[in-house]
Structure 1
Amino acid sequence: MATTHPFSGKILDETALQLGEGPTYDAATDTAWWFNILGKELHELQLTSGRKTVHKLPFMASVLARIDDERQLIASEHGLFLRQIATGELTHHADFEPGMPGNRSNDGRVHASGALWIGTMGKSAEDGAGGIYHVANGTVTTLFDNISIPNSICFSPNGTTAYYTDTKVNRLMSVAVDPATGLPIAKPSILVDASDDEAGIDGSVCDKNGDIWNAKWGAGSVARYSASGQLLERYSVPGLQTTCPAFIGKNADRLLVTSAFDGMADAGLAPDALQGATFDLGIEVNGVHDFAYRLS
């Protein structure tokens, strides 16, 4: 039986977000970034100084990736955009679902090759409305279709395995990929079958040991799985609707976790002051910084 650890961390940001998601960290500036997807906001927290900035966006966005010291990549409901860090100026980069205004981006992450995996979903989480795509320097390749809520996109430390889920199906999938490109080279297989679990498999990151840290939507926790799919331990989080973790700190030895209050009233739950807040899990981890998106 896996041990469940009580929360021993701290609140990084108490702002209650309707749908906090897509956290990442830029080691060059010691800055954490994450989104309030439904609120069309990009949140920036400089960890050394504690300076917090909220950037308004013209669209719903969900994934941010570093390109270089001056630019970032943003995945949004309108496609991929390059963002100038200093000014916030946005330039269109690529479309992954042209002609599908009913969809938006959701979970995603950059592979060691510099290619992005990005998932999409219907804005009302319609069954099978979305997909998962591979984007390399603006070239889009469809990987998986008929996806309802794409999540848990992350990669083994050697870049040979990718993980993902459809939260409505609630099975964490594993697939072998080419470490040079991030493209699948085999059929996916089930790593963790949580189809009977009330808690949803949401966002994940993979550490240097190959362990997968997964946010459990509805359970207020982060679960750590081995590369073989064994549940090793759980860590409680005050935000019941835990959405996504990210390794933060110069040594990637801390874990940031976002959460959401969206839908709590509909589910008969009473949100308190910590629902939708952003947390530091308060434990030492052996993490890996996110890779930069590569522009040739």
Structure 2
Amino acid sequence: MVMPRIFDTRACELGEGALWHPLRQQFFWFDILGRKLLSRSGHLPGVWHFDRMASAAGWLDAERLLLATETGLAILDLPSGRLTNHWTFPSADAALRSNDGRADRRHGFWFSTMGKRAQPGAGAIYRYFQGEVRQLFNGLTIPNSICFSPEGEHAYFSDTARHIVWRQALDADGWPIGRQEVFLDLTAEALNPDGAVVDSAGGLWCAHWGAGAVMRYGPDARRTHTFPTGAAHVSCPAFGRRDLRCLLLTTAREGLSDPDPVQGMTYLLNAPIRGLPEPRVIL
């Protein structure tokens, strides 16, 4: 069995938001609780520190990322490290923070919020598209697994606390139509779906918090692959590199009473199926 290998030894308290930037040919990921963005280009590590929690990003161009943060959306200028507010939540709530997020196939950006103490039902999912932000779903506890089918006709999302991944039909502009349907009910296996990404064959790769693995499910929801890691909490995958066959996996130390050194490190897996390019976000 192919096993993930350690890509970056800097341990994250809560690694999340893995992203491959196609123009820079560079992986990025967040340590949410550490309030920083991490990266590695060749053997050179990079880090950007923030004054707030940030958790997910979409790429705008070669030098800018759109970030989901606890106060709203912000634009990060990578060369200078300057963070500029782009959209702020209308009513500030210090009990909430951002969580999962990903660009959709129509160049919008989906992002989620949740309680800083995972308060039941406090979470929601939003979409930014052509300058507009709409709340799409609410009443979630830990909204995760935001990703999109290859042609963009469906979105996926989960509530980790409920062990469920849903599939949602989308219209031609990428907005939800009709009601979501259960794609995976993982209650019986006590699996906790965290971040997810879709490959070129329409399979969903889902990181499972607490299970120490990333698992692939085909478009028919049948599990096809399981790849264990050395870390207990696997949190978010992202395809990258030139052939899009490398899968970056973030992990976390959060909640572990006596974590060994590999917990929270970032891993790289040679995937048997090619991924999809990460779409650009258009402001």
TM-score, normalized by length of structure 2? 0.97
Residue 271 of structure 1, aligned match among 259, 262, 272: 259
CA distance in 1, matches of 2:180, 2:136: 11
Please give the secondary structure, in 1, of the residue aligned with 2:270: coil
Q: Is the 8 A contact 2:4 2:227 kept in 1?
A: no
CA distance in 2, matches of 1:182, 1:102: 30
Residue 193 of structure 1, aligned match among 171, 185, 189: 185
Q: Is the 8 A contact 1:8 1:283 kept in 2?
A: no
Q: Which residue of 2 aligns with 1:134?
A: 127
Residue 170 of structure 1, aligned match among 154, 163, 167: 163
CA distance in 2, matches of 1:191, 1:96: 30
Q: Is the 8 A contact 2:7 2:267 kept in 1?
A: yes
CA distance in 1, matches of 2:190, 2:178: 30
For each residue in 1:173-209, what CA deviation from the matched residue of structure 2 results, as whole angstroms up to 9, or x when unmatched?
Answer: 001012x322101210001101233331010000110
CA distance in 2, matches of 1:176, 1:215: 22
Please give the secondary structure, in 2, of the residue aligned with 1:208: coil
Q: Is the 8 A contact 1:200 1:216 kept in 2?
A: yes
Please give the secondary structure, in 1, of the residue aligned with 2:183: strand
Please state how far the C-alpha of 1:61 moved relative to its aligned partner.
Answer: 0.4
For each residue in 1:191-243, what CA deviation from the matched residue of structure 2 results, as whole angstroms up to 9, or x when unmatched?
Answer: 11012333310100001100000001111101000112111121111111000
Q: Does 1:38 align with 2:33?
A: yes
Q: Is the 8 A contact 2:201 2:273 kept in 1?
A: no
AA paired with 1:207? D
For each residue in 1:236-294, what CA deviation from the matched residue of structure 2 results, as whole angstroms up to 9, or x when unmatched?
Answer: 111110001000101211101000010011xxxx4211100000013343101211111
Please state how far the C-alpha of 1:170 moved relative to its aligned partner.
Answer: 1.0
CA distance in 2, matches of 1:244, 1:97: 28
Q: Which residue of 1 aligns with 2:219?
A: 227
CA distance in 1, matches of 2:100, 2:11: 20
Please give the secondary structure, in 1, of the residue aligned with 2:61: coil
Residue 112 of structure 1, aligned match among 105, 115, 124: 105
Aligned CA distance change for structure 1 residues 116 and 213 (closer, same or farther; 3 Å): same
Q: Is the 8 A contact 1:93 1:138 kept in 2?
A: no
For each residue in 1:124-183, what CA deviation from the matched residue of structure 2 results, as whole angstroms up to 9, or x when unmatched?
Answer: 0000011001111331111100011010000000000000001011111001012x3221
CA distance in 2, matches of 1:137, 1:42: 25
Please state how far the C-alpha of 1:122 moved relative to its aligned partner.
Answer: 0.3
Q: Which residue of 2 aligns with 1:85?
A: 78
Q: Which residue of 1 aligns with 2:18?
A: 23
For each residue in 1:40-78, what CA deviation from the matched residue of structure 2 results, as whole angstroms up to 9, or x when unmatched?
Answer: 0100111xx221011111110001111012321011001
Q: Which residue of 1 aligns with 2:282?
A: 294
AA paired with 1:118? F
TM-score, normalized by length of structure 1? 0.93
Which runs of 5 or more residues in structure 1 are unaligned?
Answer: none
Q: Does 1:252 align with 2:240?
A: no
Q: Is the 8 A contact 2:245 2:273 kept in 1?
A: yes
CA distance in 1, matches of 2:271, 2:160: 26
AA paired with 1:271? P
Q: Which residue of 2 aligns with 1:55?
A: 48
Between 222-231 and 275-284, report the one with greater CA deviation: 275-284
Q: Is the 8 A contact 2:110 2:127 kept in 1?
A: yes
* RMSD value, Cα: 1.2
CA distance in 1, matches of 2:239, 2:194: 16
Please give the secondary structure, in 2, of the residue aligned with 1:120: strand
AA paired with 2:188? D
Alignment size in residue pairs: 283
AA paired with 1:224? R
For each residue in 1:8-64, what CA deviation from the matched residue of structure 2 results, as whole angstroms up to 9, or x when unmatched?
Answer: 232100111100000101121211000000010100111xx2210111111100011
Please give the secondary structure, in 2, of the residue aligned with 1:135: strand
